[in-house]
Amino acid sequence: MLLVFYQYLAYAQEPCNIALNIKLVEKHNGQVVSPAVVHVDEVNLTVEADEKGIVTIDKLCAGIYTFHVHAAGHEHYLEKVNVSKNGELKFRLAHLEGWLDEVEISEERTSTVIQDKDKLDKEALTQQAGNNLGDVLKTVNGLNTLNTGATISKPVIHGLHSNRLILLNNGIRQEDQQWGSEHAPNIDPFLANNITVIKGAAGVKYGTEAIAGVVLIEPAPLRRKPGWDAELNLAAFSNNRMGVASATVEHNFKKLPPLSFRLQGTYKKGGNYRTPNYWVANTGVEENNYSATVGWNKLHYGVEVFYSHFDTDLGIYRGSHTGNQQDLNAAIHSDTPLVSAGFTYDLERPRQHVVHDLFKAKMYKDSRVGMWHATYAYQHNFRQEYDITRTPTDDAQMNLTLNTQTLNLNLEHVPVWGLTGELGVDGIFQENFIQPGDRLFIPNFRSRGIGSYLIERYKGADWVVEGGLRFDYRWYELFNPEGRNGEVVRYELDYKNLSATIGFTKNLSDDWQYSVILSNAWRAPQSNELFSAGLHHGAARIEYGNKDLKAERAYSINTEVKGAIGEKLTTDISLYAQYIQDFIYLQPQAYQLTIRGFFKTFGYTQTNASLSGTDITLNYNWTDNFSTDLKSSFLFARDLKAEDWLILMPADRMTLGNRYQTNVGNKLKDAFIQVQGQYVFSQWRIPENFDEIDYPRPPDAYFLLNATIGATVNAGKQPFQISLTGNNLLNTRYRDYLDAFRYFVDQPGRNIILRLRMPLTFEQ
């Protein structure tokens, strides 16, 4: 039976002036359901829910009303309610498995195979406003970050990162030198209306490098109703005195209903960040981003054009670019950072400057066989590194360009024999080159790839089964300067792969849902893994590539159980196990003597690895206003050939949060206070030869206390959302294993963040 929860407020009862506040939530995880439409039969009233899944209906007479709720991706909800006074209703809609949450009523559908998916909705993203993408994603259970200091943050899914996961930037695979451990994603989180994280191999739909998973960064669909929409987001961070401002404006033309556009821009500027005891020199950041979208959307076809520009300057802590192994050891053993600093916004060398331009054109057309989509994208990534030089210069020592073109064609076909699904073709063309006179980094290359896939889904009474198949071909042409004279040697390499997936979801009862997915993914070795022959700055090590590396192939099994126990407790438990054949990693080799002294050397090699673990989320609603949630993640990563643990894997962690939310009078809506404690274990699962590879041992376990208070303020005509967050409130001194700066400095200390969000709507 469908459950409905009532709460009556002590308002005076008046005939035909009854107001109802309806909240729409997903049945199993309590998440907001939006977009959705509520229809009341007896008064023939249809109302759209807002982005919080809330519908307000007033001026009702007392009586019995039949409520219908339609929301894409959810079962049709029907409930008869006896209305006699003002009240609040909560309707719990059951999610239709197999559909991605952002399946819009008439917008582009991004259907995908059944996977372990976590979604950050607009509300969740607003709470992270101003953070970089890695830090935003870190809030998802099972995700971590790989850092180079606090400003450079790369997402890690179940222990894997860089080119073992895909970032889909508005549907386009982000190509921004993601193989580099110091290369953060060049994506502005403010572009997103929601972010979905798919955990687990997703090679069939997304192609190569989807080994750990896929992150879908998706903007809201363009406005369809005539009029203007605007939003302003402001955030101020105390720790590095950073200010962030982002604004969006959107318009749909009354005279030309199919035409809409959106303009968006973000500016960010921060200075050195501070640990509990000292400032970290040269760690400022500046970002200038903007984007534009224009769409022509008719019922059966449409075109959308999108352009985004991302421009960032990042300082790198000067003391991290050490010289030889001895220099590194001296830095590690020093109690205080060797390079001291106060606060400044100035950026010195070493620093990075990265520009990423993305142009996308998408077309969709309905036909008798189904919905066709064609997407073309061009990405230009320009990465400059300004190193420490002996003599002052204005030049960058590395100027690396990566141009990528992608073309995707797919058809979501009409149901055939009860099967719904899609087939598609992906093509990619890439060129990567340095500027003449740069220092050697990775060889120049040109690459082409083509893939084609088929995914089919069959829905039973209370179960869904999904299967997919994909074939990929990748071809590389590399130009590597070698030897004393830097003579260019040309290499040609190609890779083929067949991926498959099969998934099954079943509703065990009204409250419980179970899914299991077997999938695989692959990736070709990256050019740095094949051809490195040089010093890795800031790590005092020389890395040697290996031309004979084979492609990695990952096979994973993910199971997820989601359910509600009684009225108050909901759980989400996922278990995963992944076998990666020919897993590429760096193996320590002999020390090498150069004029600069001794350096450790490492060579790229392959082994077979297994990564398994569990992500557990429990949520308990003590009352309608007060809830507690517990999230924990555990990862066991093994080198199967060495029969030992894998190096550099995130430690287990647990987060416990408490949240109290209520309305305060008429002026403060959804006022909340949230207190959260996070405990990160020390990583004890390290290989026996750890001391040959790395020093010192992984840092101690640590505990962080965070809190946020906030509300939506309805003062006057313009509502706005305000929140005040305190991170690391106890100003704990700690280091994290996955931060390359752990050799040199502590993690940031206390950070107080003030956020303001003003949605402005101008109805016509």
Partner 1 sequence: MKSIIMKNIAFVILVAATIMSCSKADNNDLENPVVHEEELITTVRLIISNPSGFNQTFDYKVDNGIGSADPSLPEVDDIILDANTTYNVEVKVLNEAETPVEDITEEVIAESASHLFLFASQPTAGPGAILFSNGSLDSNGEPFNQRIEFETQSVTNTGTTNGTLTVTLKHEPTNKAAINPDNAGGETDAVAIFPVKLQ
Would you tell me which residues interact with partner 1 (CB under 8 A)? Answer: 318-319, 321-324, 326-327, 329-330, 338-340, 367-369, 372, 387-392, 397, 405, 407, 409, 411, 425, 427-429, 431-440, 443-446, 448, 450, 479-484, 486, 488, 490, 533-534, 544, 590, 592-597
Q: Please report how close the Cβ of residue 82 comes to partner 1 at its closest, in angstroms.
A: 52
Whether 558 and 575 have beta carbons less than 8 Å apart is answered as: yes
Nearer residue to partner 1 within complex by CB, 27 or 413: 413
Q: Please report how close the Cβ of residue 344 comes to partner 1 at its closest, in angstroms.
A: 17
Cβ atoms within 10 Å, residue 298: 12
Residue 74 DSSP label: B
Q: Please report how close the Cβ of residue 410 comes to partner 1 at its closest, in angstroms.
A: 9
d(CA 622, CA 570): 12
d(CA 651, CA 451): 36
d(CA 585, CA 509): 44
Nearer residue to partner 1 within complex by CB, 72 or 540: 540
Nearer residue to partner 1 within complex by CB, 369 or 498: 369
Question: Is-cis flag, bond preceding 588, omega within 30?
Answer: no
Nearer residue to partner 1 within complex by CB, 31 or 405: 405
Nearer residue to partner 1 within complex by CB, 361 or 675: 361
Give the residues across from 46 on adjacent strands.
Answer: 39
Q: Please report how close the Cβ of residue 279 comes to partner 1 at its closest, in angstroms.
A: 15
**Tokens at 481, concatenated:** 């300067």
Q: Please report how close the Cβ of residue 425 comes to partner 1 at its closest, in angstroms.
A: 5
d(CA 475, CA 712): 53
Nearer residue to partner 1 within complex by CB, 228 or 372: 372
d(CA 71, CA 77): 9
Nearest-Å Rg of the Cα atoms of the chain is: 27
Residue 450's alpha-carbon distances to 319, 425, 523, 628, in angstroms, are: 44, 7, 13, 47
Q: Please report how close the Cβ of residue 49 comes to partner 1 at its closest, in angstroms.
A: 37
Give the residues across from 565 on adjacent strands.
Answer: 569
Nearer residue to partner 1 within complex by CB, 387 or 511: 387
Q: Please report how close the Cβ of residue 239 comes to partner 1 at its closest, in angstroms.
A: 24
Query: Where are the extended beta strands (E) located within 483-596?
Result: 487-507, 512-523, 533-536, 541-544, 552-565, 569-594
**Tokens at 139, concatenated:** 């809030």
Query: Where are the extended beta strands (E) located within 640-701?
Result: 644-645, 653-664, 668-680
Nearer residue to partner 1 within complex by CB, 336 or 764: 336
Q: Please report how close the Cβ of residue 489 comes to partner 1 at its closest, in angstroms.
A: 9
Nearest residue to 500 via CA among 470, 525, 460, 523: 470
Q: Please report how close the Cβ of residue 321 comes to partner 1 at its closest, in angstroms.
A: 7
d(CA 67, CA 42): 9
d(CA 732, CA 537): 29
List Cβ neighbours of 2 (8 Å cut-off, separation of 6 or more): 77, 79, 92, 510
HSE, CB side, 13 Å, CA atoms: give it for residue 177. Answer: 29
Nearer residue to partner 1 within complex by CB, 76 or 490: 490
Q: Please report how close the Cβ of residue 402 comes to partner 1 at its closest, in angstroms.
A: 11
List Cβ neighbours of 627 (8 Å cut-off, separation of 6 or more): 619, 620, 621, 658, 659
Residue 56's alpha-carbon distances to 10, 79, 438, in angstroms, are: 17, 16, 62
Q: Please report how close the Cβ of residue 397 comes to partner 1 at its closest, in angstroms.
A: 6
Q: Please tell me the total number of residues recorded for the chain in this structure.
A: 764
Nearer residue to partner 1 within complex by CB, 82 or 336: 336
Nearer residue to partner 1 within complex by CB, 534 or 677: 534
The SS3 call for residue 474 is: strand
**Tokens at 623, concatenated:** 């009352």
User: Residue 165: what are its φ and ψ, rounded to 5°?
Assistant: -145, 160
Nearer residue to partner 1 within complex by CB, 537 or 685: 537
- The alpha carbon torsion through 741, 746, 751, 757 (nearest 10 deg) reads 20
**Tokens at 8, concatenated:** 């009556």
Q: Please report how close the Cβ of residue 363 comes to partner 1 at its closest, in angstroms.
A: 12
Cβ atoms within 10 Å, residue 340: 11
Work out the end-to-end distance of the chain between its first and last CA atoms, rounded to an integer number of angstroms.
42
Nearer residue to partner 1 within complex by CB, 300 or 484: 484
Residue 206 DSSP label: H
Nearest residue to 136 via CA among 196, 213, 180: 196
Q: Please report how close the Cβ of residue 347 comes to partner 1 at its closest, in angstroms.
A: 16
The vertex-649 CA angle with 645 and 654, nearest 5°, equals 115
Q: Please report how close the Cβ of residue 473 comes to partner 1 at its closest, in angstroms.
A: 9
Q: Please report how close the Cβ of residue 439 comes to partner 1 at its closest, in angstroms.
A: 5
Nearer residue to partner 1 within complex by CB, 367 or 718: 367
**Tokens at 621, concatenated:** 């609603």
Nearer residue to partner 1 within complex by CB, 11 or 598: 598
Residue 731 DSSP label: -
Nearer residue to partner 1 within complex by CB, 267 or 378: 378
Nearer residue to partner 1 within complex by CB, 531 or 702: 531
Nearer residue to partner 1 within complex by CB, 392 or 665: 392
Q: Please report how close the Cβ of residue 459 comes to partner 1 at its closest, in angstroms.
A: 25
Q: Please report how close the Cβ of residue 403 comes to partner 1 at its closest, in angstroms.
A: 9
Q: Please report how close the Cβ of residue 684 comes to partner 1 at its closest, in angstroms.
A: 30
User: Residue 328: what are its φ and ψ, rounded to 5°?
Assistant: -65, -45
HSE, CB side, 13 Å, CA atoms: give it for residue 366. Answer: 10
d(CA 662, CA 672): 6
Whether 315 and 240 have beta carbons less than 8 Å apart is answered as: no
